[in-house]
A and B are shown apart, each in its own frame.
Chain A
Amino acid sequence: MTVELGQISLLAALLTAFVLGLVPMIGTYTGNRRFMAVSTTAALIQCLLIIISFGILTSAFVIQDFSVEYVARNSNSLLPMHYRYSAVWSAHEGSLLLWELILAVWIAAVALFSKRLPEVFRARVLAVLGWISVGFLLFILLTSNPFGRLIPSAVEGLDLNPLLQDFGLIIHPPLLYMGYVGFSVAFAFAVAALLGGEVSRDWVRWSRPWTLVAWAFLTIGIALGSWWAYYELGWGGYWFWDPVENASFMPWLVGTALIHSQAVTEKRGAFGNWTLLLALSAFSLSLLGTFLVRSGVLTSVHAFASDPTRGVFILVYLAVVVGGSLTLYAARAPKMIQGGGFAGTSRESFLLLNNLVFAVMAAMVLTGTLYPLLIDALGAGKISVGPPYFGLLFTWLLVPLVLAVPFGIYSRWQQDSGSRLAGMLRWPFLLSLLVGGGVWFMQPELGFVSAAGVTGGAWVILGSLFYVAQLLKRKNSLRIPASVLAMTLAHAGLGVFLIGLSMVSTLSSEKHLRMEAGDKYQMADYTFEFLGTSIVQGPNYSADQGEFIIYKGDREITRLYPQKRQYAQRGNTMTEAAIDPGFTRDLYVSLGEPLDQNGRAWAVRVYHKPFIRWIWLGAIMIMSGGFLAAANKRYRRKMPAKDAVQTETKEVTV
Chain B
Amino acid sequence: MTPTRKRRLIGVLVIIVGVSIAAIVAMQALNENMLFFVSPTDVEEQALPAGKRFRLGGLVADGTVSRASDSLAVTFVVTDGAYSVDVRFDGILPDLFREGQGIIAIGELRPGGHFEADEVLAKHDENYMPPEVADALEKAGHVESEL
Measured CB to CB, the residues of A under 8 A from B are: 161, 163, 234, 296, 299, 301-305, 360, 364, 367-368, 371, 381-389, 392-393, 396, 512-514, 570-575, 592-593, 595-596, 603, 605
Q: Which residue of B lies closest to A596 (CB)?
A: B69
Once the chains bind, are A574 and B95 in contact (CB under 8 Å)? yes
Given A303-B128, A572-B96, A593-B93, check contact A384 B26 (CB 8 Å): no
B32 cross-chain contacts in A, Cβ below 8 A: 388-389
Which residues 84-118 in B have Cβ within 8 Å of A in the complex? 91-93, 95-96
Given A360-B22, A572-B96, check contact A389 B35 (CB 8 Å): no
Once the chains bind, are A383 and B26 in contact (CB under 8 Å)? no
Once the chains bind, are B131 and A161 in contact (CB under 8 Å)? no
A296 cross-chain contacts in B, Cβ below 8 A: 131
Pick the contact of B132: A299, A392, A592 (CB < 8 A). A299
Q: List 14 A-B contacts (CB under 8 A).
A: A163-B124, A299-B132, A301-B124, A303-B128, A368-B30, A371-B30, A382-B135, A384-B37, A385-B34, A386-B35, A393-B29, A571-B126, A572-B96, A596-B69
Given A371-B30, A382-B37, A393-B26, check contact A592 B124 (CB 8 Å): no
Given A360-B22, A384-B55, A514-B70, check contact A299 B130 (CB 8 Å): yes
B33, B37, B69, B131: most-surrounded residue (chain A CB, <10 A): B33
Once the chains bind, are B123 and A303 in contact (CB under 8 Å)? yes
Which residues 24-75 in B have Cβ within 8 Å of A in the complex? 25-26, 29-30, 32-37, 55, 67, 69-72
Pick the contact of A302: B92, B95, B124 (CB < 8 A). B124
B33 cross-chain contacts in A, Cβ below 8 A: 385-389, 392
Once the chains bind, are A389 and B36 in contact (CB under 8 Å)? no
Once the chains bind, are B72 and A381 in contact (CB under 8 Å)? no
Once the chains bind, are A367 and B55 in contact (CB under 8 Å)? no
Instruction: Tell me the dominant secondary structure on chain A's binding face.
Output: mixed
For B130-147 the 0/1 string (1 means CB < 8 A from A) is 111001000000000000
Q: Measured between alpha carbons, how far is A572 from B91 in the docked complex, in Å?
A: 20
Q: Which residue of B lies closest to A575 (CB)?
A: B95
Once the chains bind, are B127 and A603 in contact (CB under 8 Å)? no
A572 cross-chain contacts in B, Cβ below 8 A: 95-96, 126
B22 cross-chain contacts in A, Cβ below 8 A: 360
B126 cross-chain contacts in A, Cβ below 8 A: 570-572
A513 cross-chain contacts in B, Cβ below 8 A: 72
A371 cross-chain contacts in B, Cβ below 8 A: 30, 34
Measured CB to CB, the residues of B under 8 A from A are: 22, 25-26, 29-30, 32-37, 55, 67, 69-72, 91-93, 95-96, 123-128, 130-132, 135
Q: Measured between alpha carbons, how far is A360 from B22 in the docked complex, in Å?
A: 9
Given A296-B131, A386-B33, A388-B33, check contact A573 B125 (CB 8 Å): no
Q: Measured between alpha carbons, how far is A305 from B130 in the docked complex, in Å?
A: 9
B125 cross-chain contacts in A, Cβ below 8 A: 161, 304-305
Once the chains bind, are B127 and A305 in contact (CB under 8 Å)? yes
Q: Which residue of B lies closest to A303 (CB)?
A: B128
Q: Which residue of B lies closest to A590 (CB)?
A: B92
Q: Measured between alpha carbons, how far is A368 from B128 in the docked complex, in Å?
A: 24
B124, B127, B130, B132: most-surrounded residue (chain A CB, <10 A): B124
A514 cross-chain contacts in B, Cβ below 8 A: 70-72
CB distance from B103 to the nearest CB of A (A): 13
CB distance from B9 to the nearest CB of A (A): 17
CB distance from B124 to the nearest CB of A (A): 6
Q: Which residue of B lies closest to A372 (CB)?
A: B34
A595 cross-chain contacts in B, Cβ below 8 A: 67, 72
Q: Measured between alpha carbons, how far is A333 from B22 in the docked complex, in Å?
A: 28
Once the chains bind, are A382 and B132 in contact (CB under 8 Å)? yes
Given A393-B26, A575-B95, check contact A386 B34 (CB 8 Å): yes
Once the chains bind, are A389 and B55 in contact (CB under 8 Å)? no
Q: Which residue of A lies closest to B133 (CB)?
A: A299
Pick the contact of B29: A163, A234, A381, A392 (CB < 8 A). A392
Q: Which residue of B lies closest to A302 (CB)?
A: B124
Given A381-B36, A386-B33, A386-B35, check contact A512 B92 (CB 8 Å): yes
